[in-house]
Amino acid sequence: MPKWNDYKRMAKERGSLALELYIVNTVPAGPDADLPGTLPDHLAYQARMEQEGKLVFAGPVSDMSGETLEGEGMIIYRAPSLEEARNYAAEDPMHKKGVRTFTIRRWLINEGSFTLSVGLSTKQVDLT
């Protein structure tokens, strides 16, 4: 198995995007975690991170059946390093107050696509 930076270099050399982002998987710290009580601070933090260009995507994920929410979430950060992304996650009020715990990993985006539609007169944006 190649080392991360070796693989990233090889991906760039073959013409892949090789965009490095950071995936945070976040889970409630326990059944008594005060998720609703920390939600406003968490959302304000997420909004600030988005405005600063550090937050790419964030939101809840389903259980394995796809039918139920169990409190897990995913956050994707844009950061200059894994350590900096780890700091972003650690400063999230839910993590900082011990309401949630997280793991973080690097993610190298090589392929894919998305569509962005911007309605100028309607001021609507659609991302698919």
pLDDT at 34: 81
pLDDT at 11: 94
**HSE (side-chain half, CA atoms, 13 Å) at 31:** 0
pLDDT at 58: 96
- Which pLDDT band holds residue 92 (cuts at 50, 70, 90)? very high
Which two tokens mark 39?
């939600």
CA gap 87, 102 in Å, rounded: 12
The neighbour count for residue 84, using CB atoms within 10 Å, is 13
At the fourth CATH level, the homologous superfamily of domain 4-127 is Dimeric alpha+beta barrel (3.30.70.1060)
Does position 9 have pLDDT exceeding 90, yes or no?
yes
Q: Give the global pTM.
A: 0.87
